[in-house]
Structure 1
Amino acid sequence: MHVPDGFINAPVSVAAGVVAAGAVAVSLRGARRELDERIAPLAGLVAAFIFAVQMLNFPVAAGTSGHLLGGALAAILVGPYTGVLCVSVVLLMQGILFADGGLTALGVNITVMAVVTTVVAYVTFRGLVKVLPKTRRSVTVSAFVAAALSVPAAALAFTLVYAIGGTTDVPIGRVLTAMVGVHVLIGLGEAAITAFTVGAVIAVRPDLVYGARGLTQKLKLRVGGELVDATPEPERELAPARSHRTRTVWLTGLGASLLLAGVVSFYASASPDGLEKVAADKGIDAKVEEHAAADSPLADYSVEGITDGRLSGGLAGVIGVGVTVVAGTGIFWAVRSRRTAEDASPAATRTSSA
């Protein structure tokens, strides 16, 4: 659903950019509370994984394909504020390096694909988790429903933006019906990917899933015929094992991202995605503009100068994963360091002592 240059007029693009900048600023502050010692090492990896999976377009219907948006997945794994930042990093890398999503439309894309999907998904997810039994299966089911709803919500948001600032005069009702209809189907694919990924992480390290915190029940021992809480091991004794398991999850996730982007992406559907298909059918792409980064050596997810399509696309995917994980990790560690510095400040120390 990457909106290209020329779909939305300049005033509305600027307004969307202001909204996106405000959302990112709020998310940077909110992420300081989310990026603890468990989440911070994984946030950059989540961004890289979303980049990789977005390369895997899957067929939906009538010559149309879809791909992961990632807002629901990021929000559930690392928190809603950090989730907005994860998807925003991905969109920035795609726009600058791969000419995917217009640069003048970056604000629209962040608003629609990062902010709307994350907010809708996380609100839905938290609501379901509160009413369902506190089990791992409930978290996975909640993730599925939240992801499924987030995609048509993003399609609706784009249609509203287009109704206000679209550059072509088309019947907006038809655009709305087509956009929401096809993205309901794409949402099912998003839901399956999100639920599978969240379920896989929960199975290994439930404490690393932001949305599953509080899920782990205290260990009970039977003493004299009665169940009593077991004495937990000291944190210092658990720390080395947790660090090792976190490193294992991180390396496994990075390896999976590189495999998906470098190899599996070659077998992705070549059909236009939901927005591209609707744009062509309804004529909203009449004034589309060439991307400002069309001459990038990585434009269209290929490496300039390499003629073998499989090698070119795979290498571009690997580069994209590498750049995204480095950029994302750098940003999130900077935010985490800012929180650490604030916690260690004299004012914070006095407040704690009081």
Structure 2
Amino acid sequence: GADVTHSRARLRGDDAVTGNSIRLNFQRYVARTGTNVGLAAYRYSTRGYLTLNDAARAHDDAWGYSTRARQRYQVNFTQRLGARSSVYLSGGHVAYWDSTQRQNDFQLGFQSTLGRANYSLSAMRYRLGDGRQDTRYTFTFGVPLGRSPSAPRATTQVGHSGQGGKLQLGVAGALGESRALTYSATASRSAAESGSVDTYVAYQGGTVALNAGYSQAQRYRSLNLGAAGSVALHAGGINFGPAVGEGFVLVQAEGAEGAKVGYGDPIRVAGNGYALLPHVSPYRWNQIDLDPSGLPLEVELLQTSQRVAPTAGSIVRVAFTATRERTLFIDATDALGQPLPFAARVVDDNGQPMGAVGQGGVIQLRGANDSGALIVDP
């Protein structure tokens, strides 16, 4: 593939700075051998080309204008080895305008599984902040602490670089049927510092997201608390939901209280018949689904899926129609105790059709009255 990007930026009241960037790239995946190769060559062909980050740095720091990349080359290679292992190589080279500095970063790694455990080895060559090159070697081993799907996972990581060695031990997991509660705890020790501890816990509910973290090292302690959510006031009432993006969907499904919206986040229709779906993609089709599982038998959704294509920043109301009728399952036989004939017509005492006999002689009756007679017409 190939593409050209044009930029135009006005810096500190000066004349507009314009430029172009040309990119060439190649991607290839060979399924038979499990080989994936990616090559990309970027050349910022003009001096005035600025990325969004370049322009932001230049507004805050005049020196940021001189650290713009002129050429960038990248390579990625992954090779599958058998059914459990793979090896990968990634690297890049960057040259800058107004600077003789060059940046070369490379990483070589191997990862595999051993039973229910996984491990990896990697070597990374990178540039430090003072311009010196360094190489870091890392070994990582992880194993679940139990056989249940919600069992926590323990991880050990050993690293060594020019700055010394580092040892890190951690455990992480999730609780609940939908894994709404996640937690992690990490302890590390390196040659540069005596030791540090980091803990984190987060809860993602249908109406709020909560998180808390605590870190402690030799010279500092920090505690972080966070909460995120949204409140929508509309003609149908007020609804609480997760933190919304630029646009969101207000799902209306009166009569289907408790129905699950979508199949990922734990979002359900509230008691007023509405729910907030926090994220949608603008200018493209978004499928909005209602999951009827768990609803009472007397509730029937006339449709369980709709598509909307909102504009950017819009709030869209998507209405689903639900009916609530008394539903009975009648296991009936004839006077001789034999099953009723399959597909026989069922009418009420006024001759109005009510359904038909199903498999095993069971009659499913929707909209049943509190009293009256049913007649099976074979």
**TM-score normalized by the length of structure 2:** 0.21
Larger strand fraction of residues: 2
Larger relative contact order (CA 8 Å, sep ≥ 6): 1
Larger helix fraction of residues: 1
**TM-score normalized by the length of structure 1:** 0.22
